[in-house]
Amino acid sequence: MTKTILVWLLAIFFLAITSVKAHLQEKVPRIGFLSTAALSSVSPRLDAFRQGLLELGYVEGKNIAIEYRSAEGNINRLPELATELVRLKMDCIVTAGENPTRAAKQATSTIPIITTTVGDPVGLGFVTSLARPGGNITGLSTVSTDLSGKRLELLKETIPKLSRVAFFDDTRSFEGSKKEIEAVAPSFKVQLISLEVRSLDELETAFRSSVKSRADAFMVGASGFFNTHQRRLIELAATHRLPGMYTEQEFVLAGGLMTYATSIPDLYRRAATYIDKILKGAKPADLPVEQPKKFELVINLKTAKQIGLTIPPSVLARADKVIR
């Protein structure tokens, strides 16, 4: 009889342990991450994102799980990937840019969505206002469209004789930056040459067209496509010896000429605070969208030398970071 009771007690004990383990596993928050760009091209951002989570006590694979989905530069795959994350019942979805945010918004109106690099969330209809988002979307804005004019101004100061600028535009992305440049270009006596770029073949064609049109420099819009093909973009710029103004510091660190931008990895790190608040019960509608706190001018002198460009001392003196 005693042995029987002991066997039953042990059985009950192990069942209880199993139940507790299962319960704990169910409680591990599940975060979705949706990106247009290949994950390998945004690894510094993901490292910063994980660091932000770690600072708040979240360790990937232990007390938080992250499901990564990348369209590998193909924007048409985003709706399918967003739907998949919704089907997996994520606690929230982190989106890397405008197009992933739009895909996630179309896929769910209930799961919280945290943006990381959207230029104008109000203008795009993602939130009602920065202070009171009002729906299931909140996060961080890069204010990238507002910087387009400033980037053109800096390019003009760097190349005083600048008269033609090629603008590489992934037309599937938000057109705010293009509209702003078109609006301010005449004040700098600059002719804008708009070139549609949605594939590697079109990228190579764009450079050839820029040279043929006697463009003095080029600019790119914010796009997961350019992030995914960052290396090829920089190679072509070097081959054609064409000065480039980029939207993010990562391009310049990889060999691009210059940028005026916020630190994108810092925005990813700060996105972790939204996850923490939402997991603790906060509603996206009540969490204000935050904007960048600092913008930096970054110049790659090594690249300037390679393409035969001399950076004026007045511009160099204003640089926050110079790569030699």
CATH number where 119 lies: 3.40.50.2300
In a domain, 108, yes or no: yes
Both 111 and 184 in a single domain? no
- pLDDT given at position 11: 59
Same domain, 115 and 163: no
> Do 169 and 69 belong together in one domain?
no
Is 229 found in the same domain as 81? no
Residues 255 and 245 in one domain: yes
Closest Cα to residue 139, out of 267, 249, 280?
Answer: 267
Amino acid 24: pLDDT: 46
Q: What distance, in Å, lies between the first and last C-alpha atoms of the chain? A: 83
Note down the domain range covering 182.
Answer: 144-261+296-323
Q: Is the dihedral of CA 54, 57, 59, 65 positive or negative?
A: negative
Task: Indicate the pairing of strand 258-261 with strand 296-300.
Answer: antiparallel
Determine the longest span between alpha carbons in the chain, in angstroms: 99
Q: Do 30 and 136 belong together in one domain?
A: yes
Closest by alpha carbon to 104, among 119, 87, 120?
87
3-state secondary structure at position 183: helix
pLDDT in tens, 238-255: 999 999 999 888 899 999
pLDDT at 1: 53
Give the residue among 80, 77, 114 at the shortest CA–CA distance from 97. Answer: 114
Judge residue 212's burial from the number of C-beta atoms within 10 Å of its C-beta, 0-12 exposed, 13-18 middle, 19 or more buried.
exposed
The answer to whether residues 122 and 237 belong to one domain is no
* Pair 89, 62 in one domain: yes
Residue 18, CA atoms < 13 Å, CB-side half-sphere: 6
Q: Which two tokens stand for residue 237?
A: 């710029």
Nearest to 197 by CA among 230, 221, 169: 169
Specify if 88 maps to a domain: yes
In a domain, 80, yes or no: yes
How far is residue 40's CA from residue 205's CA, in Å, rounded to a whole number?
25
Q: Domain for residue 1, yes or no?
A: no
Helix (H) or strand (E) holding 111: none
Instruction: Output the pLDDT for position 26.
Output: 56
Residue 136 lies in a domain: yes
Encode pLDDT of 170-216 as tens digits. Answer: 866 555 567 778 888 999 999 999 999 989 999 999 999 999 999 99
Do residues 197 and 276 share a domain?
no
Q: Which two tokens stand for residue 158?
A: 């760097």
Do residues 167 and 217 share a domain?
yes
Query: Is residue 185 located within the same domain as residue 269?
Result: no
In a domain, 2, yes or no: no
Would you say residue 291 lies in a domain? no
Please give the structure tokens belonging to residue 23. Answer: 């319960």
Residues 153 and 166 in one domain: yes
pTM (predicted TM-score): 0.74
**Number of domains, the chain:** 2
pLDDT tens profile 260-272:
988 888 999 999 9
Asked if residue 131 is part of any domain, the answer here is yes
- What letter represents residue 7's amino acid? V
Give me the phi and psi of 164, to 5 degrees please. -130, 130
* Low-confidence spans in the chain with pLDDT less than 70: 1-26, 144-146, 171-177
Alpha helix ranges (H) inside the chain:
2-27, 43-55, 78-87, 98-107, 144-158, 176-184, 200-212, 224-228, 230-239, 249-253, 264-279, 301-306, 313-316
